[in-house]
Structure 1
Amino acid sequence: MYKFELSIQSAETYDHLLLMLEEAGAGSPPGRLYHVAYGPKDRLKVVDIWDTPPAIDRGQFQEFAETLVPALKELGIVLYEPDVHQVHTIIKSKRTATEPRRRLLVKFDPPGMTAAQCYQIAESLDEAGLGAPAERLYHVCYREGDELRIISVWEAEEALRAYFDQLVRTAVDLGLTEVAQTEPVIEEVYHIIDGSH
C-alpha cells in the first residue's frame, strides 16, 4: 500500500492532474487496485493500493511514477515521500455504487492491535451481521511495524457509526480496552478510482 500526501493549492489542480494522467494513458494504471483522494481541498492526501509485490515485480508502479512525477512538477505539486506498508487484508463491497454520494474515509489506528485481535473482532462482527456492510466500499487493513491499521471508505455516515459502535462493544466484550477507546478519524473523500475490476 502506498500512502501519499500531496501539497495542492486547489481541487482544480488535482482534477487537472487526473486529466493529464488520463491523457497519458495512466489514469488507471495496471497493478493499482484503488486510489482515494481525501481531506481538505487545499492539502489533499492520497491512498493508493497496489497489487504488490507483483505490480512492483513487473515494474508497473515504476512505469506509473515515470508519468506521474513530471506531471506533478509541471503543476507545481509537491509530493512527499510515500509511506509504504504491507497490506494484511482487503475487503471490497459486493455491490457497486450507482450514483455519486457523500463518501467518507475512516482511519482507525488502535495502538497495539494484532492480527489475532483483528480476526477476533472480525468474527464477532460477522456473527452480528456487520462483517460486510453494503455501505462500506473498501476496507484495507495494513501493517505499520508490528501493529495493524485500518483504512475504509464509506457511503453512509449512519452505517459507519453503527459499525464502529458495534466494533467498540465487541472490543469491550473481548477485553480489548485500547481498541475500544480508539476513536476513528473521519475525513471527506474528494475522489475515488476503483481499478480492482
Structure 2
Amino acid sequence: MALLFKFELAIMTVETYDRLVVMLEETGAGSPPGRLYHVTYGPKDRLKVVDVWDSPPDLGPGQFQEFAETLVPTLKELGVVLQEPDVYRVHSIIKPQRTATRVARRLLVKFDPPGMNVGQSNEIAKSLDEAGLGAPAERLYHVCYCDGDELRMISVWESEEALRAFFDQLARTAVDREMTEIARTEPVIEEVHHIIDGSQ
C-alpha cells in the first residue's frame, strides 16, 4: 500500500526549498527510505509538495513519520511552517520504464473530477490504453489516489503537447461513456521545480 501526502508550505520559496534540499542531504535524509516519489511545484514564492510513500497497512504513515523527525526541525531552522499534510490512500501508480532525461521544463497536472469512481477510472484507462495513450513516454509519473469514495489523479509530464493529447482523449472517452462531470473537468497544470524519484 502507498500513501500520498500533499503539503502547503508557508513562505516556501525556490531559494528556501533549494537550501532545504542541501540541508537534508547533509543529514543523510535527502532520499529517505520508503519515499517513492517527491515533486515540488507551483509559484516560485509559494511552492507546494506531493510525496508518495510506501506504507505497510499496519504502520499507518510509518516511514514518513521517521523522516518528519528530521524534516520539521530543519524547516523551523529555515523559518518555514509545515502545515499538517492532507494524506490519501493511493489507488494506482504508473511509472514508465525509461532512462533519465534532461529537459528544460516539466509540468505537474492535477485532475480532480467530481464523482469519478474506480469503475469509471478503469473504463477510461482501458480506452486510453486502446488509443495508445495509456503509458506515454513523456509522462514521468502518474498516481491515482482516493479522496473519500472519489478518485483523483496527479501526474508529472515532460511535454505539454503530450499531456494535452492525453487529457483530450480522456475527455472524449468520458463524453462517449456519458461521464459528464469528468468530461467537463479541466486539468490544472503547474510548473515543476524539483523531482526526487525514490523508486529507481
Identity, % of aligned pairs?
Answer: 76
Deviation at 1:56, TM superposition (A): 4.3
For residues 189 and 59 of structure 1, what CA distance do their matches in structure 2 show?
Answer: 27
In structure 1, the residue matched to 2:116 is 113
Establish whether residue 36 from structure 1 lines up as the match of residue 7 from structure 2. Answer: no
Partner letter of residue 151 of structure 1? I
In structure 1, the residue matched to 2:19 is 16
Specify which of 82, 97, 110 is matched with residue 85 of structure 2.
82
Deviation at 1:8, TM superposition (A): 2.6
Q: Is the 8 A contact 1:130 1:163 kept in 2?
A: yes
Structure 2 runs not aligned, ≥5 long? none
Distance of aligned partners of 1:58 and 1:185 in 2 relative to their CA distance in 1, 3 Å threshold: closer
Partner letter of residue 93 of structure 1? P
**1:3-152 paired onto structure 2 within 5 Å:** 3-53=6-56, 56=59, 59-152=62-155
For residues 136 and 20 of structure 1, what CA distance do their matches in structure 2 show?
Answer: 30
Deviation at 1:10, TM superposition (A): 2.5
For residues 186 and 35 of structure 2, what CA distance do their matches in structure 1 show?
Answer: 29
Partner letter of residue 40 of structure 1? P
* RMSD of aligned residue pairs (Cα, Å): 1.5
Give 3-state SS (helix, strand or coil) of 1:118's partner: helix
Q: Is the 8 A contact 1:8 1:42 kept in 2?
A: yes
Deviation at 1:53, TM superposition (A): 2.5
For residues 8 and 35 of structure 1, what CA distance do their matches in structure 2 show?
Answer: 19
Give 3-state SS (helix, strand or coil) of 1:86's partner: strand
Q: TM-score, normalised by structure 2?
A: 0.94
Q: Which runs of 4+ in 1 moved over 6 A?
A: none
For residues 58 and 183 of structure 1, what CA distance do their matches in structure 2 show?
Answer: 31
In structure 2, the residue matched to 1:196 is 199
Q: Is the 8 A contact 1:105 1:152 kept in 2?
A: yes
For residues 58 and 40 of structure 2, what CA distance do their matches in structure 1 show?
Answer: 21
For residues 190 and 56 of structure 1, what CA distance do their matches in structure 2 show?
Answer: 31
Could you give the per-residue CA deviations for residues 108-157 of structure 1, whole angstroms, max 9, x where no partner exists? 00000000000000000101111000000000000001100000000000
Deviation at 1:188, TM superposition (A): 0.3
For residues 166 and 34 of structure 1, what CA distance do their matches in structure 2 show?
Answer: 26
Deviation at 1:89, TM superposition (A): 0.4
Partner letter of residue 105 of structure 1? L
Could you give the per-residue CA deviations for residues 20-60 of structure 1, whole angstroms, max 9, x where no partner exists? 10000000000000000000011100000000236946942
Q: TM-score, normalised by structure 1?
A: 0.96
